[in-house]
Chains A and B, each alone.
Chain A
Amino acid sequence: MTSVGVRLLLVTGRTVRQGRALESGKLQQEYMDSVAVCEVDRTTLRVLGVTDGGPVRVETIHGSVVVRCRVREGVDPGIAFMPCGPYANAVTGGHTATTGMPEFKGIDAVVLPAPGEGVPTPEELLRAQLEEGA
């Protein structure tokens, strides 16, 4: 099956829901629901052929991760927004240009439909990353 990917600029940041959920408990379902998300504009969703809330794979040069795709008013065409947290970090690079600060905003990314693929739990995501390092 061929699938259409959309090239976007990935921006990560805070959301109220993510903030509440992280304070409440990071190993709870609510935290996963609040951060395993990629927000795009309506047109991007249509081009991807994904339903609101359907799985997509976000790929960057640093890695890839499956999350739920959501339409979000205020997100421009060309931009994908992910709440900060383990899913966004799975596709973020560790290079800091000698400042200590990785580039969390403005990462070149491709978003692809991921029909039938499950979103990993934070724990599964972490295990996979630790295995890469082993």
Chain B
Amino acid sequence: MGRVICSFCGCLCDDIEVGVQDGRIVSVRNACALGRVRFLEWDRDRLRHPTVLRGGEYVQVPLSEAIDRAAEIVSSARRLLVYGLSSTENDAHREAYRLAELVGGVVDNTSSVCHGPSILAVQQSGIPVVSLAEVRNRADLVIYWGANPVAAHPRHIQRFVRAEGAFVRDRELWVVDVRRSETARVADRFVRVQPGSDLEVLSALRAIVNGHTLDVSSVGGLAMSELSELAERMQSAQYGVIFFGLGLTQTGGRHHNVDAAIRLVQDLNSHARWGLLPMRGHYNVTGANDTSTWQTGYPFAVDFARGYPRYQPGEYSAVDMLVNRECDAVVNVAADPAAHFPREAVRHLGRIPVVNIDPKKNMTSLVASVNIPAAVAGVECDGIAVRMDGLPLYLKKAVDPPPDVLPDREVLAEIYVKVAEELGR
């Protein structure tokens, strides 16, 4: 078949060629190691049948029975948390918001544990965004700050940074990180900062760019002379871009770090064109923020308890809902909180009923009261996903899902209908 989009990471590579024979994917071209697994092992370790937990054992049931059980859990919950969404397509998101709204629950996507703090910073300070095509064609200085694309977005460098650009000949690649990551090893320059000092380093760079002299000899492990040289080089760029990763959002300063990066870039715009972009991990986490904003007005951590949407990260975000034992049921869509949440949050998953909708067996499937298998979006069903720079792309279907396995959107829609019936709405 023609070119398809890789639905693994936020790069959403659109040049993937898959070979299909007798309903199976037999070859993949152009994808990275992660993308290859996405396609070639799409059928490995699947949840093959709906199951419900009965007397400590998982019992295989028909889909309709699993939907009934899920609807029962949702309609009897007093404070439902719907979570996940970043690894599924936009239409599934819509159904998730409808369901949360119907029962006055909370809906959050995985950005609360990746770039949620970036969103908080953007809401405070704005963001001079760039598109990836612009970066490829124009940027002459690219900085990955607290990001390791070689591991998390393997083709990002090749497609957008080390690629030939229409209007740029020489391009420099820097990495700023606390450790010499794989990406640092392929960079033209590696700047090592002390762990937890990104905010200081960014603020020092801002001060220098704004013409101030700092009365210290070093900041965050960097000598003032090096900082001055970095600032000077940044000001002399024609078109600079900072791609920042979880190194900024998951450390102590969280949104303050990102805020400092945004303000540095705003300051640099007095000297040259500069932009910045978060390195979004899950392939459609950007879409989850977009659809959530379209439908509810807010990008994540949304509560419908009062019948209208309210937004409060730190309260309606999934980790807090679990750690504070606020929710009494969870619908998990295309995520794995049991594997990716801190211990304290995982504990609460064991106390409450969990409806798990995912194509694959995962750790949440071992805690769930109901497991409903779903089609792999971008492989077994179509849909829209949004690239890290905001470009919506159409995911194609390459092969059929296993018998009786539906896309997330249809599973959620069926649960919605049942819940609405039960509640008489």
Contacts and interface: CB of A to CB of B under 8 A. Distances in A.
Interface stretch (B61-69, B224-232, B348-356): B348-356
Nearest to A41: B179
Given A101-B116, A133-B348, A11 B315 contact: no
Chain A interface residue bracket vs B: 35 or more
Interface residues of B, number: 70
Contacts of A105: 195, 246-247, 250-251
Nearest to B345: A94
Given A13-B246, A74-B180, A27 B116 contact: no
Interface string A16-52: 1001101111111000000000000000000000000
Given A74-B181, A74-B184, A133-B351, A23 B344 contact: no
A126 to B, nearest CB: 6
Interface in B73-116: 108, 112-113, 116
Nearest to B337: A89
Most buried by A among B154, B192, B196, B254: B254
A9 B150 CA distance: 23
Interface in B305-356: 313-315, 317-320, 322-323, 336, 338-351
Contact of A126 (B116, B254, B319, B338): B338
A106 B350 contact: no
A134 B249 CA distance: 32
Contacts of B117: 99-101
Contacts of B254: 97, 99, 101
Given A99-B117, A105-B246, A76 B251 contact: no
A24 B336 contact: no
Interface of B: 8, 33-34, 37-38, 41, 44-45, 108, 112-113, 116-117, 120, 148, 150-152, 154, 178-182, 184-185, 192, 195-196, 246-247, 249-252, 254-255, 281, 300-301, 313-315, 317-320, 322-323, 336, 338-351, 360-363, 366-367
Given A15-B151, A74-B181, 5 more contacts: A16-B34, A101-B113, A102-B113, A105-B251, A134-B350
